[in-house]
Amino acid sequence: MFTRSVRKHSRLVSLQHARGRCGGPGSTHEDVDGVRTLLQLCVDRHYVSPGQANVERFQRGLGCCYGPLGVELRRNLLERWWDSVSRSSAQVFGISSVCSSSLHGGAHGHTTQKIVDVDRLKETLKQAGSKEQLIQEVHMLLQGSASLRTNFLQAALEQYVPSLELVNRKLPFGLAESGVCFQSSDGCAAEVTQASLVWFCSPKTSSHWMDHWARQRLKWWKKFASSPSDFDSSDVPAEELDGTASRGVKVVYSFPWGQEPLETLWNRGDAELLQMHKGVRNKLQSRDGRKSVPHVVSVTANMDRGVMAYLHNSLQQLKRENSKQKLQQRKVLKVHPVLAPVKVALDIGRGATVELRQICEGLQLELQEAEISVWPGYLDTVPTSMEQLNNKYDEMGVLFTVLISENTLESGLLQVRSRDTTIKETVHISEIRHFLSRYISAADSM
Amino acid sequence: MFTRSVRKHSRLVSLQHARGRCGGPGSTHEDVDGVRTLLQLCVDRHYVSPGQANVERFQRGLGCCYGPLGVELRRNLLERWWDSVSRSSAQVFGISSVCSSSLHGGAHGHTTQKIVDVDRLKETLKQAGSKEQLIQEVHMLLQGSASLRTNFLQAALEQYVPSLELVNRKLPFGLAESGVCFQSSDGCAAEVTQASLVWFCSPKTSSHWMDHWARQRLKWWKKFASSPSDFDSSDVPAEELDGTASRGVKVVYSFPWGQEPLETLWNRGDAELLQMHKGVRNKLQSRDGRKSVPHVVSVTANMDRGVMAYLHNSLQQLKRENSKQKLQQRKVLKVHPVLAPVKVALDIGRGATVELRQICEGLQLELQEAEISVWPGYLDTVPTSMEQLNNKYDEMGVLFTVLISENTLESGLLQVRSRDTTIKETVHISEIRHFLSRYISAADSM
């Protein structure tokens, strides 16, 4: 059968001295190969769209073009993130702001990316008289242009006042948002899909809440890992604290080229909230006891890097001997059942294809209604061996492969192969939905 | 009891001669009042964030800042849109592209919004010698700057080739994406949340598919309406056809100020696909029969305007006499059960609050696990009358209000009030989850 490869070991070795970029100084050859294999697999199996620049963005934890499987994985991850922060306590509300506003840049000045109307700028260049006039007019045009958000903090601080009404001025509560934010990377615009929780609590409870969220967030990231020890958290050194923050914590993932932050938490105090609302304390005060202005704990996750981390974490390369006693490598993407973009592939064996297809269509509908994502392998009419099919599905991270055959027509029995054990079971068609639901929810509650 | 107000009638009257902007020429006073009432309610009930500029963006069908209820409504709408296009046939894949790329502007030139790094532009202004040099350098900087996407078509055309592999070169299939797109509105950047399906099919079936999707999409919009006749579709006149398109259809909503498009469909032919892939036909050909380059049918919805349309469509103002025989107005947001951002509010009557709260917490958890969104009214400790509470929930569009009282502790019975009928029923606590699920799924399958 299968024997575990040395991947696990080689990664541990490499982490001891690899802190540069992938392929840079400090990375071993095995690392470079491992990362290359992963990225190639992500492209081949439609997690990430092809193209070197795109794949590089993906590796660096930036927004990139995703293929169908990547879209689903990121969507599942975002949904889980949202559930975990909003259900952990009663009062978390979702908000949604716009990407660009004249405010972001004005109030804080740390955004250097602005949206400029090219036609208007070109017009300005044409019309201006002297060089001095030209410079002045370009500056004016820039001043009137909207800045792109770098995070969701400003939007949440703004929304604090109407939201306080919503909870009848009672703390604590949180405002959550997810979507695209913009960063400046080497003078170019780079996008990141962020998920953000901004938590408002009384000053005396803020360090308790900071501890709570830091613990919760690390636990959450580890929950979906194949190898949880690659996820860790640490305090931000005092000299690197963000603005007025009194404490910072980063949840990091150990890539072969070093640790990178997945989620960052700051205990920010009340300074930014007061600044946003121009110091009008009575607008900000909560109802309980001391009429205090709340302190802010912010939690910001990079979901693009999260996708990369989980894909890296879940790729296992296993060696086995084939029938001719030759060593073969089997690659399996052991993405957590809850996150896996495809839960089940439906395929048909040889036989009366019309009837078998009809069974597949019915089953697909039934599973989709139970929110179980299905890969309609039965639609593919190009013949492939079962081994090739299994290899493909393992690389896609498909949890189960269901094979419907002539036998199903007679007895109602299906063959179900598990990605993780490679064991094949026989299940009755009326049981399959329940079988899959139970498996996924069991994995979720572990 | 309640009598239907004249709102319905006044809207029909106004539509006959109102085709300008809200409050502009052609709008009646009743219209202006009606729209004002709706927008104020949307702000008061946390669908839309306060602020005149923000509310105006919302009214115009542009992206804006949403409050918690608006976020949920848009999310429900987007999920349903996604389900309806991806489940209607087996092969629709989600993709995800980046907002900004150097390609969009280069290849098509209709985007006039670019992301410019302000620091670099300022540096350029400082360093340049003569005016001519300055102009040239600004032009170069613009050339290197990324454009913002106006739609998802380019991304889907790009993704066509790797996706063709995914389906083993078999047509038809579709690529779906949703997210923020950018428009130029009066020389300023405006955002819109779009949902897009790009459908690839054989040339001889394209007009069939165009019919299919146009019919499907109108049916979908009408499904969630309180007053379906406000949703309609019509062919785009020949002189307004987009680029190489041979046919266009718009699904529109009749606002008091005129019809506005919610979703637009184009039968685009193969010209853009060929252009994107530089005419390399064999890369694009499908496997079936004639090795044809597919034709493209594009479907693009504006989800921000969709939210505005459904809110407008679902607001009902009802007049009734109160106990002192004075006429009162009751405003109810009759958002479709499937779209309603809050399905159930949990409140407690007077009595042993600690025990009652515990029941609420347990029930909330149970309902959330069944994906039924709950409003934890029981957390609010400021006393309000039941009438005030019902008014508030009706304006929020909350489907059901569940009242847990002393009686519940003894008998397990709850009082459930329906938003739509205002009828109160008594339900056992063990039945409530099933009661709500059944109601929502019944409304869904109608």
How far apart CA B173 and CA B167 sit, in angstroms, is 8
Per DSSP bridges, beta strands B100-101 and B92-94 are unpaired
| Domains of chain B, residue spans | 3-99+149-311, 342-445
Q: Which residues of B touch A163 (CB under 8 A)?
A: 46, 67-68
> Rounded to the nearest 5 degrees, what angle is found at the Cα of A117, between the Cα atoms of A111 and A123?
130
How far apart CA A64 and CA B424 sit, in angstroms, is 51
- The separation between the first and the last C-alpha atoms of chain A, rounded to the nearest angstrom, is 27
**3-state class of A196 per DSSP?**
strand
How far apart CA B389 and CA B92 sit, in angstroms, is 44
**Residue whose pair of structure tokens reads 């923050």 in the numeric block:** A245
Give the tens place of pLDDT for each residue, B50-85. 999 999 999 999 999 999 999 999 999 999 999 999
β-strand partners of B418:
B400
**Residue whose pair of structure tokens reads 């923000």 in the numeric block:** B54
Residue A106 has pLDDT above 60, yes or no: no
Please enumerate in sequence order all residues whose Cβ is within 8 A of that of B320, keeping only pairs 6 or more positions apart, or say none.
Answer: B1, B2, B3, B327, B328, B330
Residue A369 has pLDDT above 90, yes or no: no
What pLDDT score was predicted for residue B88?
67
Report residue B103's pLDDT band, with 50, 70 and 90 as the boundaries: low
C-beta atoms of A117 and B117 within 8 A? no
What pLDDT score was predicted for residue B30?
73
Of the listed ranges A331-340, B16-25, B423-432, the one predicted with least confidence = B16-25
Of the listed ranges A270-274, A366-370, B125-129, B272-276, the one predicted with least confidence = B125-129
How far apart CA A167 and CA A169 sit, in angstroms, is 5
B396 in Cβ contact with B377 (< 8 Å):
no
Same topology between domain B3-99+149-311 and domain B342-445: no
Query: If contacts are CB pairs under 8 Å, which of residues 17-76 in chain A contact chain B?
Result: 46, 49-50, 57, 63-68, 70-72, 74-75
CATH topology of domain B342-445: Rossmann fold (3.40.50)
C-beta atoms of A159 and B66 within 8 A? no
The complex's ipTM works out to 0.89
**3-state class of A387 per DSSP?**
helix
Long-range CB pairs of A184-190, under 8 A, 24+ apart, other chains included = A184/A112, A184/A113, A184/B117, A185/A62, A187/B117, A187/B119, A187/B120, A188/B117, A188/B146, A189/A113, A189/A148, A189/B100, A189/B115, A189/B117, A189/B145, A189/B146, A190/A57, A190/A62, A190/A63
Out of B71, B91, B361, name the one closest to residue A379 (CB): B91
Which of A282, A286, A306, A287 has the alpha carbon at shortest distance from A296?
A286
Report residue A25's pLDDT band, with 50, 70 and 90 as the boundaries: very low
Q: Chain A residue with minimal CA distance to B101?
A: A189
DSSP label of A200? E
- pLDDT above 70 covers what percent of chain A? 89
Residue A20 has pLDDT above 60, yes or no: no
pTM: 0.90
Report residue B22's pLDDT band, with 50, 70 and 90 as the boundaries: very low
Instruction: Confirm or reject CATH 1.20.1250.20 for domain B3-99+149-311, answering yes or no.
Output: no
Please give the average per-residue pLDDT across A244-271, as a whole number.
Answer: 96
C-beta atoms of A117 and B188 within 8 A? yes
What pLDDT score was predicted for residue B31?
78
Which of A41, A57, A39, A23 has the alpha carbon at shortest distance from A256?
A23
Report residue B90's pLDDT band, with 50, 70 and 90 as the boundaries: low
Residue B400 has pLDDT above 90, yes or no: yes
Instruction: State the smallest CA–CA distance between residue A228 and chain B in angstroms.
Output: 26
User: Mean pLDDT in chain A?
Assistant: 87
**3-state class of B172 per DSSP?**
coil
**3-state class of B203 per DSSP?**
helix
Please give the average per-residue pLDDT across A209-213, as a whole number.
Answer: 97
Please give the average per-residue pLDDT across B115-144, as a whole number.
Answer: 87
How far apart CA A39 and CA A58 sit, in angstroms, is 9
